Structure 1
Amino acid sequence: MTTVRCVLAIAAAKNWIIHQMDVNNAFLHGDLDEEVYMKLPPGYCPKGETRVCRLRKSLYGLKQASRFVQSQADHSLFTLITATNLTIVLVYVDDILVVGNDLSQVTYFKTIISTHFKTKDLGPLKYFLGLEVARSPSGIFLNQRKYALDILTDSGLLGSRPASFPMEQNLKLSDTDGDLLPDPGPYRRLVGRLIYLTITQPDIVFAVNILSQFMHAPRVPHMTAATHVLRYIKGTPGQSIFFSSSNDMHVSAYTDSDWASCPTTRRSTTGFFITLGSSPISWRTKKQTTVARSSTEAEYRAMAVTTCELVWIQQLLHDLGISHKDPMTLYCDNQSALYIAQNPVFHERTKHIEIDCHIVRDKLRSGLFTTAHLPSSEQIADIFTKALDAKCV
């Protein structure tokens, strides 16, 4: 979905054409010239069976090369770049986005595809994978209003009183408090649907991340917290992210951490938020894999995770024909973490940090990005590491 957001952000800035196609039966009609085999699905044959199936049709994907170049950053992305024209094809099973700067080239591609596969031309992009797209001269709006209302309807909370924030600020959930739910199925389905809703609602990412940690054995307090998230969504079902047509295409990243925030494991939480110009394209909340000995170490590990995402975004932009000559900007509100990134000799405070974390230092030296300090009060990534009160939402 980061690729989808990135493509839409660039299309809004470049005023590119965006069309959508639907392929009947997910490429079942495409002949294969190469030999491609697949394993039999579990339970289909007796245990110990070694036979495989040979594919006669190109099932679920383009398995043969064409004039398009497959992206190494995202294998569902294909590009065709000439001296004057650029055509981008983004494939997700049987849904296709066709983006380009020349309407005739986009039309030609759709015509060629329709001669090989049974397709349906859906015209300009309006609805894709549950995402509602609205375009105006000022940019592109992306939301999941229908999806959010469906969740509220299925949960019986469409008429509930809205909440002003996603999660109580000082709420600490654990896997031992409260009674176990007699049927964990509804909780798991609800959290799974909320995870998909975070595609366009980054303000609930932290709360959903916390709730997803109790899928194995959900309890009553967990369900209560999930219901609170739904009440918050009730107040903002059509909340959108906006990709502006006025965009300098500079990548900025905001990274933050909450030290030892997990009451059970004492592991820290990493959060980052990345924009392409003024358009949000990537965000994440993730519990760190090890226990950090200090808040500085937790911040530095968060910088390492964000650096990996920036490396991937750089490759993605390159595949999309976007040249990002200036270094990206990585914002952090911890001065000590910035010093570790810039200073190769920090002795006692850094010798216990794993080598892979020092990718921050390596990429900083290579000129991929520059670091900058900003006050905690201006740290956008703060909403991805802790629950905030209504004033901050």
Structure 2
Amino acid sequence: MDEEMMALHKNDTWELTELPKGKKLSGVDGSLQSNTRQTDQWTAANLNWPLKQFDVKNAFLHGHLKEEVYMDFPPGYNAGRKTRRSGKVIALIIYVDDMIIMGDDSEEMMKLEKSLAAEFKMKNLGDLKYFLGVEVARLSRGIFLSQRKYVLDLLKEIGMLGCKPVDTPITEKHYLGIYPYQEPVDKGIYQRLVGRLIYLSHTRPDIAYAVSVVSQFMHSPSVDHMAAVMRILAYLKSAPRKGILYEHHGHMRIEGFTDADWAGDVTDWAGDVLIGGNLVTWRSKKHNVVSRSSAEAEYRGMAHGVCEILWLRKLLWGLGCTQKEAMKLYCDNKSAREKN
């Protein structure tokens, strides 16, 4: 869209102005791409002519108009639009009826709050402390996120507040799988427990691997699978206050890490991304194809990692954070690194 807008400016197609009184905006969709003409490939094949493709930007706007037409930018696109304060960002985060406002302009934040209060009945809860089961604490070192209450409520609900804690969320060699003659357990109870553990993984990356293992047996859980879930809960009992600390390191560098055989499982690939030295995303996923070599598997994992960091860079750009340094992606496979 930026390229299309630059072409419009270059051709002096229109000028940016305020909508005059009495004038109406003409409808326009978010697509600025023009169609290309189709070439007769049969002729080219028979005559051995070369085939070359071009794209004329804004071809449909090269005609002359006799009347004035006023159009607005597509939703979310503000190129060239003048704002009262440049460089200021206010973000409004909404989940059903819960809202968070953040930004770098306290005056504008107050104006936004007043505008919302004029339209909806709202209650100002002050500084953010609790949101969707996540506890937020602002410390001298940064912002600490945890789900302590969520953990304790879960343990109390299933009667494990007095259980004996363990040091690890899963045994080193668990050999969990689907085997014949295994003893089944209640599927509904198992799925609800694993679902709550998946949500808990948002602030507890230390249980991410164990939760990813037990979540693979949602369709046919057994006694062994339930025992693995109980071990995760016993591990949470040992440290319910653990969470993630986001510190200010003086930079906003994006760094990604990928591994095609995470935790020794050749069917999984995993990746995580750090922004400003803080962990922001982490996940693992089954390989959807069979690779012919470990290097190829690593390349596939790296491709997913590149998509992740590009998406995060775009998100930061929307929040007014421009990346001044090149993003980095790390991979632990020697052959994949040497072939880059």
- TM exceeds 0.5? yes
Residue number among 115, 118, 131 corresponding to 2:118 in the alignment: 115
Partner of 1:240: 243
CA distance in 1, matches of 2:193, 2:163: 16
Instruction: Give the deviation of 1:112 after TM superposition.
Output: 0.5
Instruction: Give the deviation of 1:321 after TM superposition.
Output: 0.4
Instruction: Give the deviation of 1:85 after TM superposition.
Output: 2.5
Instruction: Give the deviation of 1:181 after TM superposition.
Output: 2.6
CA distance in 1, matches of 2:106, 2:140: 18
CA distance in 2, matches of 1:193, 1:140: 24
CA contact (8 A) 1:143 1:240 kept: yes
CA contact (8 A) 1:260 1:268 kept: no
Mark the CA change 1:149 to 1:238 in structure 2 (over 3 Å): closer, same or farther.
same
Equivalences for residues 22-171 of structure 1 within 5 A = 70=76, 82-171=85-174
For structure 1, the 5+ residue unaligned runs are 1-66, 72-79, 343-393
- TM-score normalized with structure 1 length: 0.63
Instruction: Give the deviation of 1:235 after TM superposition.
Output: 1.1
Matched residue SS, 1:246: coil
Partner of 1:198: 201
Question: Which amino acid counterpart does residue 329 of structure 1 have in structure 2?
Answer: K
Partner of 1:254: 257
CA distance in 1, matches of 2:202, 2:179: 30
Equivalences for residues 370-389 of structure 1 within 5 A = none
Instruction: Give the deviation of 1:102 after TM superposition.
Output: 2.0
CA deviations on 1:281-304 (whole Å, 9 max, x unpaired) are: 110011111222322222222111
Matched residue SS, 2:124: strand
Partner of 1:330: 329
CA distance in 1, matches of 2:326, 2:138: 30
The structure showing larger relative contact order (alpha-carbon pairs under 8 Å, at least 6 residues apart) is 1
Instruction: Give the deviation of 1:177 after TM superposition.
Output: 5.4
Mark the CA change 1:178 to 1:109 in structure 2 (over 3 Å): closer, same or farther.
farther
Partner of 2:23: none
CA contact (8 A) 2:298 2:336 kept: yes
Mark the CA change 1:81 to 1:307 in structure 2 (over 3 Å): closer, same or farther.
farther
Partner of 1:351: none
Instruction: Give the deviation of 1:315 after TM superposition.
Output: 0.7
**176-185 or 276-285, larger mean C-alpha shift:** 176-185
Mark the CA change 1:107 to 1:164 in structure 2 (over 3 Å): closer, same or farther.
same
Question: Which amino acid counterpart does residue 271 of structure 1 have in structure 2?
Answer: A
- TM-score normalized with structure 2 length: 0.72
Partner of 2:302: 303
CA contact (8 A) 1:191 1:211 kept: yes
Matched residue SS, 2:126: strand
Instruction: Give the deviation of 1:149 after TM superposition.
Output: 1.0
CA distance in 2, matches of 1:167, 1:182: 19
Instruction: Give the deviation of 1:259 after TM superposition.
Output: 7.5
Instruction: Give the deviation of 1:255 after TM superposition.
Output: 1.0
Greater Rg by CA: 2
CA contact (8 A) 1:180 1:220 kept: yes
Mark the CA change 1:285 to 1:260 in structure 2 (over 3 Å): closer, same or farther.
closer
Counterpart check, 1:287 vs 2:286? yes
Question: Which amino acid counterpart does residue 185 of structure 1 have in structure 2?
Answer: G
Mark the CA change 1:177 to 1:202 in structure 2 (over 3 Å): closer, same or farther.
farther
Question: Which amino acid counterpart does residue 234 of structure 2 have in structure 1?
Answer: R
Instruction: Give the deviation of 1:261 after TM superposition.
Output: 6.0
Question: Which amino acid counterpart does residue 314 of structure 2 have in structure 1?
Answer: Q
Number of aligned residue pairs: give it: 262
Question: Which amino acid counterpart does residue 151 of structure 1 have in structure 2?
Answer: L
Matched residue SS, 2:269: strand
CA distance in 2, matches of 1:131, 1:302: 30
Instruction: Give the deviation of 1:92 after TM superposition.
Output: 1.5
Matched residue SS, 1:310: helix
CA contact (8 A) 1:143 1:239 kept: yes
Question: Which amino acid counterpart does residue 86 of structure 1 have in structure 2?
Answer: V
CA deviations on 1:127-184 (whole Å, 9 max, x unpaired) are: 1111100002321000111111111112221111111111111112111256343421
